[in-house]
Structure 1
Amino acid sequence: MPWSVAMMVVLIVMIVTIGRVSREKYRTGRTQSRLSETGADPRAYDEIRQLKERIAVLERVITDHHGRSDLERQIEELRDR
């Protein structure tokens, strides 16, 4: 095999390898930035879950037409959390 062909094969392999490594680095960076945006901390997930529950209760309070005592009970449940 001529020297130039061997060198071309080596260069192609290097280019492909560098491309794959760069792509994986980019993916990892994007994943880590997404995790930091969402706060990969379990406490953050718990807080989000609690806020969603509160929003659901508030939506029910606003859209449902219950008596005053039921409304006060739901508000007190929200305060206790």
Structure 2
Amino acid sequence: MNPEHFFCMGLGALITLAVQYYGRRKVRQAIAAPDVEARRDIQLLDAENVQRIGQIDRLQERLATVESIVTDRAHRLASEIDSLRIKAN
């Protein structure tokens, strides 16, 4: 083998190593860098969750008010019926 073959093999090896280095570097960057679209989706979901939690809290307050109205009226009605029964006897 003449020296030109060794030079071409060395040059080919260097090019192969350079391509591998570049590819590995790009893969590391892709893994390390957060996905912008995924981050935006997470922020939108977080905002929607906060909104839903607020709606649930307001609905729970309204339900508690309705329950108190319903149970208070039923209790008052029962006591009025009992008082009328006592007066009738």
TM-score band, normalised by shorter chain: 0.3 to 0.5
Q: TM-score, normalised by structure 2?
A: 0.43
Larger RCO, structure (CA 8 Å, separation 6 or more)? 1
Asked which structure has the greater CA Rg, the reply is 2
Q: TM-score, normalised by structure 1?
A: 0.46
Q: Which has the higher helix share?
A: 2
